Amino acid sequence: MNTTKVLRATGLLALLACGARPAPQAATAEYLYLWTASADSTQPDFLAVLDVTEDSARYGRLVTTLPVPGRGNVPHHTEHEMPADRQLFANGFGSGQSFIFDLTDPVRPRLAGQFGDLEGYSHPHSFLRLPGGNVLATFQMRHDAAGMTPGGLVELTPAGRPVRSRSADAPGLDPTTRVYSAGVVPALDRIVTTTTDMDGDSPASRQLQIWRLSDLSLLHTITLPDGPAGGESELTAEPRLLADGRTVLVSTFNCGLYLMEGLESESPSARLVASFPRKENTYCAIPVVVGNHYLVTVPAWNAVVSLDISDPAAPREVSRVTLGPEDVPHWIAVSGDQRRVVITGYGALRNRVLIARLDPATGQLALDERFREEGAAEPGFRMTGKSWPHGGGADGVPHGAVFGGR
């Protein structure tokens, strides 16, 4: 018998008998990355890093910032989840420049790459990880001799090098079609893309396009039907793959929610399964899926709403977190443990970030009251009145936001 093992076991039993317990392990360090525009066009846009480690005395405090080249990039979308390689893609839609942030060291972000037009395509909008680790980018448009034409899809390496690309253009397609966002469905060898134009509305914004993932062939372009209110199909927004790996829900900025059917067939379609009220000059926006729950921003209610989608054909509201009357929520993303949701937006949220608590089992939402600056009367992190670590003190306008742990 191994005497050393016996002594160790005896010592552990003695400690337990005296009421002692092994020292608890420290909580995993977690950070929130905010892709932020400078309100002063003479100062650089930047990535801000906040400490959101649960047991940290600095919970919600600024750690550092990283400025990016150029001015007036108009920081827009990042990836919605921190990728495994921690090379985070983010677009500056105004300049057409995109940036790759190396977050291998989570508190010392580094700019690992930058690119503009690729394969003739301009203004990338959304970035999604493919099963092999490459990045699928949606590009809104393409410049050619005929002027501005529909964009397409470009597959990139994690270093931002193009691998292959395909155009969204097809015979009879409205030339104002713009590729907005995408959902990847590996189990069905499909990609679903939406068609809202970032620079304005067009008739094509009611459409979805279905592609074959394996070779990026464009298979179908379909038009969404309206619902009883009329207009629910306009401004197609974000496809989201559900937990079964086969079902896709697609949101519209006009607050419709559509269930795709026959996605792998020769006659795919979509039908309206839920809708929300609209308030003038605001739009329902970014959704996330957490298990059997679908979370989406609804500005008419100044709220983030949680739906039970156990039956995706009949979504049912189970909770909502209502913000201030002037808050217009737009972007949301969920933490790795699926218990927190970051919120950015417009109106009174233009220079402010909030976090909501989420029970992933029930879908219940509540504002994170602890996430506030020292001495503040209300929750949230304000990006005004700061002296940024990279220099300057212009107000920050956050858009894309993503959680990431150490």
Domain boundaries, the chain: 27-281+341-347+383-405
Q: Which helix (H) or strand (E) holds 346?
A: strand 340-347
Q: What is the pLDDT of residue 2?
A: 46
Q: Structure pTM? A: 0.92
Q: What is the pLDDT of residue 11?
A: 43
Q: Which of 41-45, 189-193, 256-260, 402-406 has the lowest mean pLDDT?
A: 402-406
Q: Decide if pLDDT at 13 tops 50.
A: no
Q: What residue type is 142 in one-letter code?
A: R
Q: Decide if pLDDT at 67 tops 60.
A: yes
- Mean pLDDT (the chain) is 93
Length of the chain: 406
pLDDT band at residue 1, thresholds of 50, 70 and 90? very low
Give the domain 27-281+341-347+383-405 fold.
Answer: Methylamine Dehydrogenase; Chain H (2.130.10)
Q: What backbone torsions phi and psi does residue 17 show, to the nearest 5 degrees?
A: -65, -30
Q: What's the pLDDT tens digit per position in 100-116? A: 999 999 999 999 999 99
User: What value does the mean pLDDT take over residues 130-146?
Assistant: 92
Residue 47, CA distances (Å) to 109, 169, 280, 295, 401 in order: 8, 34, 31, 25, 9
Q: Decide if pLDDT at 18 tops 50.
A: no
Q: What sign for the dihedral angle of Cα 66, 71, 72, 77?
A: negative
**C-beta of residue 253 within 8 angstroms of C-beta of residue 283:** yes
Interatomic CA distance for residues 245 and 298, integer angstroms:
26
Q: Decide if pLDDT at 186 tops 50.
A: yes
Q: Which residue in 89, 88, 151 sits closest to 117, CA to CA?
A: 151
Q: What is the pLDDT of residue 17?
A: 42
Interatomic CA distance for residues 262 and 218, integer angstroms:
16
pLDDT band at residue 146, thresholds of 50, 70 and 90? confident
Residues of the chain with pLDDT > 90: what percent?
Answer: 87
Q: What's the pLDDT tens digit per position in 276-293? A: 999 888 999 999 999 999
Q: Which helix (H) or strand (E) holds 115?
A: strand 110-115
